[in-house]
Structure 1
Amino acid sequence: MSEETEVVVVGAGQAGVAMSEHLSAAGVPHLVLERHRIAERWRSERWDSLVANGPAWHDRFPGLEFPDVAPDAFASKDQVADYFVAYAEKIGAPVRTGVEVTSARRHEGRPGFRVETSQGVIDARFVVAATGPFQRPVHPAIVPDGAVPAQIHSSGYRNPEQLPDGAVLVVGAGSSGVQIADELRRSGREVFLSVGPHDRPPREYRGRDFCWWLGVLGRWDAETPAQGAEHVTIAVSGARGGHTVDFRELASSGIELVGLTESCEDGVVRFAPDLGRNIAEGDAKYLELLRAADEYIARNGLDLPEEPQAHVLGPDPRCVTAPRRELDLAGAGVTSVVWATGFAADYGWLDVDAFDERGRPRQRRGVSSAPGLYFLGLPWLSRRGSAFIWGVWHDARYVADHITTQRSYLAYDAHGTPASAPAPVSAATQS
């Protein structure tokens, strides 16, 4: 005998908890299945000193504030995990932990899905894949095994003491790579930081956090990234109370900046000649946001303190004007490579025709091309804000509205009378 429910939500991170809140509010029976603990990746797949990249007033759900974290402070990774546990308890989310979903496939000859788990089979009319984008660490096969004593992905990095003595090459200059490189340098390590294309916003400008600026400027609502910028990383930090990432300051602290890591042969790593361009393009995005903020202040007559020094970048360091093109790992004493190169999604458990030729979900705002299947927690699912905690909450509301509308149509009885009338189609449910 199999268990039955209307909706199975796979994953109990921020996306799964948000989905549960909106389904419960709509009176939709559901189960949330999580193979580990609630928000497990925040606890066990992040480094010890990690904090949220947005302030506590911003990076949260509407229904609960962070306890013991000041609004403008940045919650630690464990505080974020505890927050979602508390939120799930607050809303009474029907979460089952320690349950792994091994497969989900469509029923033959009837609607719904057969969801196979480590604890039995569940029949569901709808399935929401809320596992997010951080399923499989991306570790480029550039540096051969044995070329250095240790190679590790950022998801496995915990602290400097974890690595063998010696210099470190950190590959990737988004928030993770920058913060890890900075921590390693502060611990006394010699550090090389491989910098690719990136967006570099100010942490704070004229008394307001960059999260606030993107909100009032309407940039969280951008529906599609700029051409070629789908995977460009954001270099911003909440570490040590929050600060603007400035690659010139990183260089002055002793970190040597290098270009994009291209290849490795006979223990020698080669870098692309793109460091200067990557730094300049990041600077241009930074300065453009400052100008837009200044214009907004003038247009709205706001009394916010001027900050002319924020526009002064200073000269490029020598490692940028005359960048290193190759690095002999042994000769430079490099004993570790940390790959801060992101993640890929893993939907191997979904036996449904819902993916394109590159394995990406075919969906619009989380509504899959396969009826009854939904995706949640992906970057740019509906807009730029989808990658942030609060953005996931709003995306979940849209998906829940869609499910509720579909349920009402499916409830139509044989006599032509709706068992429960469909909700009016609104801007939130149109696609």
Structure 2
Amino acid sequence: MTTEKIKTDTLIVGAGQAGVAMSEHLSKLGVPHLVLERNRIAERWRTGRWDSLVANGPAWHDRFPGLDFDDLSPDEFAPKERVADYFEAYAKKFNAPIRTGVDVLKVERNVGRPGFTIETSEGVIEANRVVAATGPFQRPVIPPIAPIAPIAPQDQPFLQIHSADYRNPQQLPEGAVLVVGAGSSGVQIADELQRAGKQVYLSVGAHDRPPRAYRNRDFCWWLGVLGEWDQAAMKPGREHVTIAVSGAHGGRTVDFRGLAHRGMTLVGLTQAFNGGVATFQPNLAENLARGDENYLALLNAADAYIERNGLDLPQEPEARITFPDPECVTHPILELDLAKAGVTSIIWATGFATDYSWLKVDAFDDKGKPQHQRGVSSEPGVYFLGLPWQSRRGSSFIWGVWHDAKYVADHIAIQRSYLDYHDAAQREAEVVSLAPKKTVSA
């Protein structure tokens, strides 16, 4: 990019799955636009995840409608590098106007004229509209309860990182590991560490635990036919409930009791650290029971759907068989002296926060969250894409963001049509005003 000022109709910030989807829909509608990405296309899939990560949904599901994973069977789970390559290939399909290595520093609304001025690491851009397609995984969050003071002797290595910085078991020092958070990331990392021979303590909070597959259909299919993906609003009180699902090792149902019977120690929600002692809430059994309820509810709904529609799908009674409660559930650990337990690492699988500090517009509530309706911001000309529950439960999934992008692109096209009318009407008025006046003879 040159240092001269560039003008475009719509600027898209971010070239992950959201930015690529947005560019495709705007291209189809003939809307001039530019996509800026500070790194590479889909960079977070390449370097913002651990080495062994695979997609949590099968290849037939976690994709855009216009391109298959032609080197994978439909029920395989794509490795993270393959997912990143997929988005690069998809962008090339329609020659997406993406410029990589450009960091957006500030976006401000123009005063006394339409549009926005965008400061970037490569110069200034002016645009009529801005789409923030940076997604929900921007700033790793480690809760304030995390210990700050050293909790191990100076001669003993101790590592404390967010799951965004975890890559593989070899990265960690010798010793046991405490993984805080048992959503998809936390449970997969804990499982990998245990398979590598680590003693693992896993802090389990409230969660949903769907079956990986049931009666020969993946849970992604079941949530689709049961209408769960299209839920328009999160149920009250479910804001902090994670989903424990994994595509690792060919895709298996997450079973916390099974992990415990293999030697992992489960504890409740992490409550505090006092010196080198971690304390946990006495809610492990309750959290597991609610996860079981979610699991069984989906099995029951699937059985009813099969009977109602007369589908020929095999029975699977073994799906309802559960391990007995292990000792760590019947006699939960409420305090853990990290040094005595040999814990030398803490991995915080505690999610992410958005960071829109570069977007200097009135589009946020008093907590800094975007104010929008299906991605259309309260600030005219500003749009969001890739947010959880942007329009439905499936919004943060690959296929879901594609459909949300279509809605936002259609909104932009409609706004452009109104402005096109305004410009045409102005030109016509100017022509009339410049036309010679006819005189009327007496």
- Give TM-score scaled by structure 2 length: 0.93
User: Secondary structure of the residue that 2:318 maps to in structure 1?
Assistant: helix
User: Secondary structure of the residue that 1:380 maps to in structure 2?
Assistant: coil
Change (3 A) 1:273 1:265: same
| Aligned partners of 1:408 and 1:418 also within 8 Å | no
Residue 415 of structure 2 is matched in structure 1 by: 406
Residue 180 of structure 1 is matched in structure 2 by: 189
Aligned-pair CA distance for 1:233: 0.9
Distance in 1, matches of 2:424 and 2:272, equals 68
| Structure 1 runs of 4+ with >3 Å offset | 413-419
Q: 5 Å matches for 1:86-165?
A: 86-141=89-144, 142-148=146-152, 149-165=158-174
Question: Where do 5+ consecutive residues of structure 2 fail to align?
Answer: 153-157, 429-442
Residue 42 of structure 1 is matched in structure 2 by: 45
Match of 2:268 among 227, 243, 259: 259
User: Secondary structure of the residue that 1:15 maps to in structure 2?
Assistant: helix
Residue 229 of structure 2 is matched in structure 1 by: 220
Aligned-pair CA distance for 1:146: 2.1
Q: Does 2:56 match 1:23?
A: no
Aligned-pair CA distance for 1:232: 1.5
The AA in structure 2 aligned to 1:112 is: G
1:87-128, CA deviations, whole angstroms, 9 ceiling, x for partnerless residues? 111111000000000000100011111011001111000000
**RMSD value over aligned CA atoms?**
1.3
Distance in 2, matches of 1:59 and 1:136, equals 24
Distance in 2, matches of 1:58 and 1:177, equals 23
The AA in structure 2 aligned to 1:305 is: P
Residue 323 of structure 1 is matched in structure 2 by: 332
Deviates more, 1:280-289 or 1:223-232: 223-232
Residue 433 of structure 2 is matched in structure 1 by: none
1:219-260, CA deviations, whole angstroms, 9 ceiling, x for partnerless residues? 100011111112311100100000000111010111100001
1:8-41, CA deviations, whole angstroms, 9 ceiling, x for partnerless residues? 0000000000000000000000000000000000
Q: Does 2:78 match 1:75?
A: yes
User: Secondary structure of the residue that 2:130 maps to in structure 1?
Assistant: strand
Change (3 A) 1:55 1:418: farther
Deviates more, 1:382-391 or 1:137-146: 137-146
Total equivalences in the alignment? 419
1:268-295, CA deviations, whole angstroms, 9 ceiling, x for partnerless residues? 0000111111101110000000000000
Residue 336 of structure 1 is matched in structure 2 by: 345
Q: 5 Å matches for 1:347-386?
A: 347-386=356-395
User: Secondary structure of the residue that 1:248 maps to in structure 2?
Assistant: helix
Match of 2:320 among 311, 316, 322: 311
What is the percent sequence identity of the aligned residues?
A: 68
Match of 2:245 among 233, 236, 250: 236
User: Secondary structure of the residue that 1:74 maps to in structure 2?
Assistant: coil
Residue 197 of structure 1 is matched in structure 2 by: 206
The AA in structure 2 aligned to 1:26 is: L
| Aligned partners of 1:143 and 1:269 also within 8 Å | no
Q: Does 2:297 match 1:288?
A: yes
| Aligned partners of 1:297 and 1:304 also within 8 Å | yes
User: Secondary structure of the residue that 2:164 maps to in structure 1?
Assistant: helix
1:260-317, CA deviations, whole angstroms, 9 ceiling, x for partnerless residues? 1110012000001111111011100000000000000000000100111212223211
User: Secondary structure of the residue that 2:346 maps to in structure 1?
Assistant: strand
| Aligned partners of 1:39 and 1:84 also within 8 Å | yes
Distance in 2, matches of 1:389 and 1:192, equals 32
Aligned-pair CA distance for 1:387: 1.3
Match of 1:65 among 63, 68, 72: 68
Aligned-pair CA distance for 1:67: 3.0
The AA in structure 2 aligned to 1:396 is: A
Aligned-pair CA distance for 1:413: 3.2
The AA in structure 1 aligned to 2:267 is: V
Question: Where do 5+ consecutive residues of structure 1 fail to align?
Answer: 420-431
Aligned-pair CA distance for 1:53: 0.2
- Give TM-score scaled by structure 1 length: 0.95
Distance in 2, matches of 1:306 and 1:418, equals 70
1:160-206, CA deviations, whole angstroms, 9 ceiling, x for partnerless residues? 00000000000000011001000100111100000011010000000
Aligned-pair CA distance for 1:418: 11
The AA in structure 1 aligned to 2:151 is: A
The AA in structure 2 aligned to 1:3 is: I
1:305-347, CA deviations, whole angstroms, 9 ceiling, x for partnerless residues? 0111212223211111211001000000000000111100000
Q: Does 2:218 match 1:209?
A: yes
Change (3 A) 1:311 1:417: farther
Q: Which has the larger radius of gyration?
A: 2
